[in-house]
A and B are shown apart, each in its own frame.
Chain A
Amino acid sequence: MITIDAVGPIPPSEQIRTQLAGLIRSGELAAGTRLPSIRQIAADLRVAPGTVAKAYAELDAAGLIESNRALGSRVRPQQAVPAAARGAAQGFIAAALKAGLAEDEAVELVRSLWVSEAGRR
């Protein structure tokens, strides 16, 4: 399931794209999984079909999905983050929650550590 905030500052197509990309990267949408039609998602979210089509086109351009007029849209193979990295991320989230960190604080911590770790390598 994906959600959008219709009055939020982020455009609906971007919200759809980031959530679908996240689900594909995390492996929740496995390779070969068929995505709903543009019309179905547009009807459920009560947005214009063009909004969903734009999100699908960007996912296609990013290589995350492949769209075919006859077969619909499917998740491309080997798009999920490796299981080891996913497991480590889940462990970090659990530790951050235990430490009482908010989402923004946890993300900020990762960003700062990322810079120093990348510089060291």
Chain B
Amino acid sequence: MNIVLLTVTVIFLSIPVAALTLAVSRVGRADTRVRSLGLAADEALRASRARALLGLASALMTMVVCVLSPAMRGSLGVLLALALAPSLSASVGLLMYALIPATPDAGTENVRYASLQPRHPWSFVTTGQFIGLGATTTVLLALLIGAGITASADDMGRPSRSFSITVGDIGSAAGPYPGWYYGIPMLAGTLVLAGSALLALRRVVTTPALPGPGLESQNRHWNRVSTHVIVNVVQATLLLQIAGVAGIAGTALKNVASGMLDLDHVGTIGYALMLMAAIAILGSGTLAILAAIRALTLPSSVR
């Protein structure tokens, strides 16, 4: 059993490491063919990287505040602050990215160009990404609703914070459990995340195209990479929320089952949820690393 667990752990840990190695090697290859796209285009690319960096820094700062700030932990409670940290921090990062205005025209480009290809916020989202986002959102909603429906009041009578089962005269309860007390704020956080993502995607397509003829393909590539970064951030956040909900719910189910006979099926569901949490957290980490690398190396990848 231990060997199986060790093998599974090694396989899961190798996913983000492989993704990181692949991304870094691609960055290296891109840097070897760096060439100038012209002053205005280079300036636009630099501004884009600065905007992505600021978004990333804002997201990290919000995450730190949510997790470590005594004020947040005091007002919301440790678990609720942790539950809201992913969606809040990603939303702040995406909003920062969306709301920073484009680089103003320095007045050096008298001849200006416009593409006649209509662009929409979803223009550069691939079918695979749509399916991935839909599947991740569905799983998160199913977990939150399932946990909300099965939750009960805890020992102190606070509603929807615990999981309990009674078989005959014997009852067993365990908490914390992600019932509606955590679920409703998390659903609200996910809605805010969706709105922020839409604003960020809109920001990508309404940003002026790279100035100059012959830059259409670079411009499309720039839009595509920026869109991938945003989609990766959103999906990483959704997976982190899935990991949190599945991990806490799974632990509660396992604890309830361990205290009673004939509840093996509940324990199995608990272990399955914990496995789902492990997979989700690794997927989230991989996507977050990919998003960070893509954002920080954007100018190189466009050239």
A residues with CB within 8 A of B: 1-7, 23, 29, 34-37, 39-41, 43-47, 72
Q: Decide yes or no whether B140 CB sits under 8 A from chain A.
A: no
B residues with CB within 8 A of A: 102, 105, 109-119, 205-209, 213, 216
A4 and B206 in contact (CB under 8 A), knowing A35-B118, A40-B118?
no
Question: Across the interface, which residues of A come within 8 angstroms of B119, CB to CB?
Answer: 36, 40
**A6-B206 in contact (CB<8A):** no
Question: Across the interface, which residues of A come within 8 angstroms of B102, CB to CB?
Answer: 43
A36 and B113 in contact (CB under 8 A), knowing A1-B216, A43-B206, A46-B208?
no
- How many A-B pairs have beta carbons closer than 8 Å: the answer is 62
Question: Across the interface, which residues of A come within 8 angstroms of B117, CB to CB?
Answer: 36
Question: Across the interface, which residues of B come within 8 angstroms of A34, CB to CB?
Answer: 118
Partner of B112, one of A3, A35, A37, A40: A3
A1 and B115 in contact (CB under 8 A), knowing A6-B110, A40-B205, A46-B105?
yes
A5 and B111 in contact (CB under 8 A), knowing A39-B206, A44-B208?
yes
**A72-B111 in contact (CB<8A):** no
Question: Which of A3, A5, A29 counts the most chain B CB atoms within 10 A?
Answer: A3
Tell me the bound Cα distance from A47 to B119 in angstroms.
18
21 pairs, CB–CB < 8 Å, chain A vs chain B: A1-B115, A2-B113, A2-B116, A3-B113, A6-B110, A6-B111, A34-B118, A36-B114, A36-B115, A36-B116, A36-B118, A37-B118, A40-B114, A40-B118, A40-B119, A44-B115, A44-B208, A45-B113, A45-B114, A45-B208, A46-B208
Chain B nearest CB from A68 CB (Å) reads 14
Chain B nearest CB from A53 CB (Å) reads 14
Question: Across the interface, which residues of A come within 8 angstroms of B113, CB to CB?
Answer: 1-3, 44-45
Tell me the bound Cα distance from A23 to B116 in angstroms.
11
A sample of 15 more A-B contacts (CB under 8 A), given A35-B118, A46-B208, is A1-B115, A1-B116, A1-B213, A3-B111, A4-B111, A6-B109, A6-B112, A36-B114, A36-B117, A40-B205, A40-B206, A43-B102, A44-B113, A44-B114, A44-B115
Tell me the bound Cα distance from A29 to B110 in angstroms.
26
